[in-house]
Amino acid sequence: MNMMKTAMLIAFMTALFMGVGYLIGGTGGMMIAFVIALAMNAFSYWNSDKMVLRMHNAVEVDRKNAPEYYGIVEALAGRAGLPMPKVYLIESDQPNAFATGRNPENAAVAATTGLLHRLSREEVAGVMAHELAHVQNRDTLTMTVTATLAGAISMLGNFAFFFGGSRDNNNPFGFIGVLVAMIVAPFAAMIVQMAISRTREYSADRRGAEICGNPEWLASALKKIAIAAGRTVNVAAERNPATAHMFIINPLNGERADSLFSTHPDTENRIRALMAMAAEMDAPAAPPVPQPKAEPARPAQAEKPARSGSSGIPKTGPKWGRGDDKGPWG
């Protein structure tokens, strides 16, 4: 089902790309855009993850140079039954993270230095579990390819003014077509990105909470990230806004409203959903049916979610989240 949705999305984005070409250069422009879109789709399938990681200057780390961060991802991947993804670090004060890759066998997760410095070990585990949920749900290919094509559509729209106004081309709409290409096409691509992110974040939150074993870890992390993201500039994200929907929290602004124009669901709504999930996990189980001539059994308590120290998350190395230390990256 996810593969079908991905195929339909890529087809839509390709059609949108061709539409921009038609508005700029008529039938000839549409055919050129079609050829470019086919090439970009093929390239994006195999290389979009590398492109996004390069856009954000992500550096691959391993057990030797990032033992605790790597160890957390390794433990969570094992709990989720996933292959070990590649692990990347992004130099940015803004706490944030994303996942990418065309499938679970070729996945990568990336976190910023700000995330490791500002959050506790358990909160980092909640965030990385969320990203692994995207990998497990096979959201990463859709989100990464969409980012690539949306960026290309926006760029083509920006160039429309310079290349679409000539009377010598086959543009049937003239300057009006150019204006539509400049304004409507990038806006449509943005709406598609928003729809993708908003519909997938809730399911990734829930599955991520299941992977790490405690919804409160992710809820606490989301609150801290949302506050810090609105106060800290992510330079790479500002330069590449088409990738904003890939992050766990919008890296571009402190958007709070759960509206049509937000790339992510409202953080408070996400936190409420996670806390409701935590309450369900803590709720007592239904009492068993009383046996004849026996006192009614007391309600049995459901097993509580895993707490710190019982989740398999590595406990070695420096603690994170204290205001007086710099975290594992010095």
Active site residues: 131
Q: Six-digit token pair at 148?
A: 């690539």
Bridge partners of residue 101, in order along the sequence: 107
Residue 301 near residue 285 (C-beta atoms within 8 A): yes
Q: How many CB atoms lie within 10 A of CB 53?
A: 21
| Total H helices, total E strands in the chain | 9, 4
Q: Is 168 exposed, middle or buried (0-12, 13-18, 19+ CB in 10 A)?
A: exposed
Beta-carbon contacts of residue 322 (< 8 Å; ≥ 6 apart): none
Q: How far is CA 281 from CA 113, 218, 288, 301, in A?
A: 32, 15, 18, 10
Bridge partners of residue 109, in order along the sequence: 87, 99
Residue 302 near residue 210 (C-beta atoms within 8 A): no
At residue 108, the 3 state secondary structure works out as strand
